Copies of this chain bind each other. A is one copy, B any other.
Amino acid sequence: MRGGGWLEGVLSTYIRKDGLDATSKLVDMVKGSKHYGQIRVAMLSGVTMGGFNVVDMEELYRYTGIPVISVIRRPPDMDSIRRALENLSEPGQRLEAMLRAGDAIELSSRRGKPVYVQYKGLDADIALSIVRSSSLHSRLPEPLRVAHLIATGIILGDSRP
């Protein structure tokens, strides 16, 4: 998307549920896209997707050269995450990838409740100002709100807010 404005393209890929391939699949998806040269920032709704397939934000930044921002509505609950990881292969590798995302900064939003921001490849003040200026219609930046509507609309038939 162009900031909080209009949609320019949609990318999609497949990852394994509870797998270890989220980072490499995202790197390939972004670098293989015709939009690659134009993308200034990549945004994530948290670093876990498809169950506990963890995106390593540091690797994603390093291999794409594109700064990465993750925005979530609740601070990560590391205790319950540690417990959940015990039931999966490679718990140490997953936990390390999660920790490499860094501390989440609480950012108050104009809508009352705050969001929590992690970032790689750019300064904190720039990351926060990007989140703030792209959050137009909800607490979340437009690219994340729209990606969520698309994903739920395709999978469930009717999108969920």
- Point out the residue from B12, B32, B34, B157 that lies within 8 Å of A12, measured CB to CB: B157
A137 touches B9 (CB 8 A): no
A67 vs B150: C-alpha distance when bound (angstroms):
24
Q: Let me know if A136 is at the binding interface, CB within 8 A.
A: yes
Whole-angstrom distance from the CB of A63 to the nearest CB of chain B?
18
- Point out the residue from B11, B146, B158 that lies within 8 Å of A159, measured CB to CB: B11
Q: Let me know if A7 is at the binding interface, CB within 8 A.
A: yes
Residues of B within 8 A of A10 (CB): 149-150, 152-154, 158-159
Q: Let me know if A38 is at the binding interface, CB within 8 A.
A: no
Proximity bits, A13-35, B CB within 8 Å = 1, else 0: 10000000000000001001111
